[in-house]
Amino acid sequence: MMKRITIPLALGLLMAATQVLASTFYRWVDDNGVTHYSATPPEGRASEPVRTWGKPSSDQPQALEALEQRREARDEARQEDATANTPATPKPPEEYCAQHRENLKVLNERPVVRRTDPETGEVTTLDAEQREAMIQRTQDALKACS
């Protein structure tokens, strides 16, 4: 049973493959205006051969070079736009800087620092690790004030 199906299927695929490998295809339009393509010209109808492959154009290297130049110019323009649109970091207000200086002074002078949570009003004592982290954050914030 399997042999009966396999042989006709293989022959059909072989015939289809030869149609694809044909060197010339033809194009024609039927009475309904539908365009058809086939490996053999139709009988009794005007048809035109269709070229299915070709060699690369002679100006391909120049076209590739021009494309690469356009891409580079586009990338440079994007970089210029990105740098032009990047706003300069504004200097923080003096009150901000004064508050951070005061905070840093307190953190450095007092070994025990208490902090009040603004949302809950709860007072907590900072341990040494938290105090060092807060000193580092305050120093980083003061760098913008320079």
Say yes or no: 100 and 131 in one domain. yes
Domain range for 74 is 55-86
Q: Are residues 111 and 127 in the same domain?
A: yes
Tokens of 17: 């493959």
User: Counting Cβ atoms within 10 Å, is residue 35 exposed (0-12), middle (13-18) or buried (19+)?
Assistant: exposed
Q: Does residue 82 lie in a domain region?
A: yes
pLDDT per position in the chain (146 positions), as tens?
Answer: 566 778 777 777 766 665 555 467 889 898 899 999 888 888 888 899 887 766 666 777 888 888 999 999 999 988 888 777 666 666 778 888 888 899 889 888 888 888 888 888 898 888 889 889 989 998 988 888 87
CB atoms within 10 A of CB 41: 16
Domain annotation covers residue 73: yes
Are 49 and 59 found together in one domain? no
Inside any domain, residue 6: no
* Within a domain: 59: yes
d(CA 70, CA 65): 9
Number of domains in the chain: 3
